[in-house]
Each structure stands twice: as structure tokens, then as C-alpha cells.
Amino acid sequence: MTKPSSVRIAAIYWPTTSVGGINTRLQNYKAASIQAGDQFDILRSDNLITMGAEHFREPTRIRGGDTFIDIDGVVGHHPKHLKKSLEFLKNNYDAIFFAFLVPHPNKLYGFDPVFLPFFTQTDLPKAATISDGYWSTYKEWGRQAVPYCKKLYAGCKAYAVPLQSEGIDIEVQSRPFFPQAPQTVRDKEMLTVWCHQWKDIKGIIPFLKAVPTIPGNIEMYSCGIRYYQIRETDTWKKAINIDHFKNFNGEGKADYFGWVPFEATPDIYRRAWFSVGLQGITAKASKTTLFGTPASDPKTIYGAGSYNNSETEALYYGAVPVLHNQVLKSDLPKECILTVSKAEELPKLLGSKAAKSFVADPNRVILARQWVLDNHSAGKIYRILKKDLGI
């Protein structure tokens, strides 16, 4: 039996347009903390005059942009509530972990770094994550927060490079994965799924255009700005059959389900043969080498070896990740994935005998699962977090 611990971590996330991947990481951290006998509270923080500091009686699912997140409370940073929020953190927690370093300045949040006292006016040890490739859009605020963090992590090397080029000490840390127990088995008929956000950088439009000629069944999940922009276009109608989310049905073959809860995804990957993600397919061509010459343009960064929680989950639960070939620059196990250089290659690849044999290969399944356990263990990563925080 795990010995109970007195460690209490406030896991803070700021307002964002899509909290999907953030929620996944935080829920995996939380599962590992519970296993260790710790308290890992996921707290929403915003610059809203209506948001004070509160711990809920039980986890509550709320909207986070175009997806949802399960939170344990709120700790607002509006000047009206700042003193109370700082006291709340001091009295209830031993450390702070920021799910991503700072808010992004925009019309919705504002252009004044009201959040900074969470860094400058609390003595609690802090760690934070760089969870995207958009450092260039919030670096002015980020630079002010970095000196107050005991540790700064990046989800992949490509995200770390722009900060390293400025001399910022940042460690590449794998995203945590905590296994669940799916109740399903692989579908007898070929099934391809899309579980990524509906944003251009993920390659959603090229994938939709390829859908009509991809063999087998197709299911599409998640959401994003592109869903709302294209759901009445010809591209949509040719790709989608039933829209189970908002009833924008089409004449195609794919079923669209929209956002599904974090706990529902393991069964999707267990049923699927292939899980497609085309991050980097729209990346801007660059004559410079990202790891030779520092680069900060997001489109270049996302084409330099980046991947998502979805790939880790697919590998563990048995689906074959089918990805844009920029991931070959990452640490993903090359013997467990398939890649394409453009979406038009998907129908031929997924319909091939070789791909179908690859899905059924028990050695691939074993290697993929072991790689996830070796490299993305939430328990191991959580223990490192506590050590880095000094708690």
C-alpha cells in the first residue's frame, strides 16, 4: 500500500481557446499523484472580476475554449481578488505547477500581465510547462515569469529551441501518460480515427479532403475553430456522413462525434486500426535547420519533430499512429508508426496489405506499449516533478 503523503500541489491553468491536451496532461498527473497519496488540485485562473479563490467539494467539468476540463477549484488573479488568492495558495498548497507558463495576450484576456503576482508575490516553489510552439507570441510575458520557476519543461525538443536560443534553461520532459483499462477490442472491420484538434496546424483540412477515398470506416472526434468554419462547405459534405455533435450531416462516409470525455478515449484507440494526425503538414518551408539555427516561427517549429498526447495514447492502446513525416525528427518509435508526406498518400497506404499486417503484428503492439511505459510513465514523471520542486 502506498504511504500517504502531505504533498499538496496547485496545478494552475490559464484561460485558453482549447484546453484538450492540457486537460489530458493534468488528468494524468493527477492520477499519478493520487497513486502516490498526494493532492494535485487542478485550478482555473482567470482575470475575471467574478472569480475568487475556491476549492470545490468534488471535481467539476467546465468548458475550456472549444473543449472541456475537469477542475477542482478556481483561483482568480483579478486585482480585486489577488490578495485572497495569494493567501489561498499559501494556506492550502506546498507548490505550484503551471500547466502552461503564462496566459497569451489577446483581446479576450487583455494586454496587461495581471497574473504576474502569482510568480512574484508567493514563495511557493514553482514549475511550469511550455506546451506549444508559439513562444514568439507570448515571450514578453514569459520572460518575466521564468526567473521565478525552479524548473521549466517543454513537451518536445522543438518547443524548447526558441527558449534555449535566448539562454533560458528548459528541460525536455515527456508528457505524462497514466494507463486506463478499455473495455473494447479492435473492430473487425478496418477503422481509422481522427482525435486531434480541428486546427490548421493539425492538418485537418487535408485529411478531410482525403476522407472520401480512404478505405474502411472512419470516425472523427474532438473539435476546434475549423469545425465551425467548414461544416457547411463542400469539403465537409463530401467527407462527413452523420454529424452526431451538431447535426451538420453530409453525403460522405465519416461519422463525426465532436468532443468526448478524457476517459472515453482509450476505448476509441483500442477499437481503431489507425489513428491519423497530420501535425506539421502545413508547416512553412524553411531554408534554415531548426536545431542548427534558432527559429521561433510556429509553423517551422511544428514541422521539426513535434507530436501530441494522441500519439502516446494510440501507441499504448493498440492503434497505429499515421502521421506526417516531420515526426521522424522526434523520439517516437519509428518501428511502431506509419508516416506520409502529404494527405493524398493516405488512401493507398491505409488500403495496403502491408499496413493491415502492421496493425495485426503482435510485436508492434508489445513494442509500442513498452515504449510508452518506458518514456511517458506518469508515475515516474510525477516523481521527477516533486523532486524538481523540492517537495
173 and 195 part of one domain: no
Looking only at the bridges linking them, the beta strands covering 53-64 and 67-75 are antiparallel
User: Confidence band (pLDDT; 50, 70, 90) for 105?
Assistant: very high
Residues 6+ apart with CB under 8 A from 320: 273, 274, 275, 314, 336, 337, 338, 355, 358, 359, 364
Report yes or no on 185 lying in a domain.
Answer: no
User: Confidence band (pLDDT; 50, 70, 90) for 382?
Assistant: very high
pLDDT of residue 288: 39
DSSP-derived 3-state class of residue 274: strand
Please give the full DSSP string across 174-213, using - where no structure is assigned.
Answer: PPPB----------SS-EEEE-S-SSGGGTHHHHHHHGGG
Report yes or no on 267 lying in a domain.
Answer: yes
Rounded average pLDDT over 221-242 = 96
pLDDT of residue 290: 40
- The per-residue pLDDT for range 36-66, each reduced to its tens digit, is 999 999 999 999 999 999 999 999 999 998 8
CATH assignment of the domain containing 57:
3.40.50.2000
The answer, yes or no, to whether residue 268 has pLDDT greater than 50, is yes
**Structural domain count of the chain:** 2
95 and 202 part of one domain: no
Report yes or no on 19 lying in a domain.
Answer: yes
Domain range for 81 is 8-177+377-389
Report yes or no on 136 lying in a domain.
Answer: yes
Residues 334, 345: Cα–Cα separation, whole Å: 18
User: Confidence band (pLDDT; 50, 70, 90) for 292?
Assistant: very low
157 and 228 part of one domain: no
Report yes or no on 366 lying in a domain.
Answer: no
45 and 118 part of one domain: yes
Is the pTM value of this prediction over 0.95? no
138 and 18 part of one domain: yes
279 and 247 part of one domain: yes
Report yes or no on 295 lying in a domain.
Answer: yes
240 and 144 part of one domain: no
Rounded average pLDDT over 351-355 = 98
Report yes or no on 17 lying in a domain.
Answer: yes
pLDDT of residue 284: 60
Cα→Cα distances 350→180, 307, 339, 367, 369, Å = 27, 20, 11, 21, 22
Angle 123-124-128 from CA coordinates, rounded to 5°: 120
199 and 270 part of one domain: yes
Angle 115-118-120 from CA coordinates, rounded to 5°: 105
156 and 207 part of one domain: no
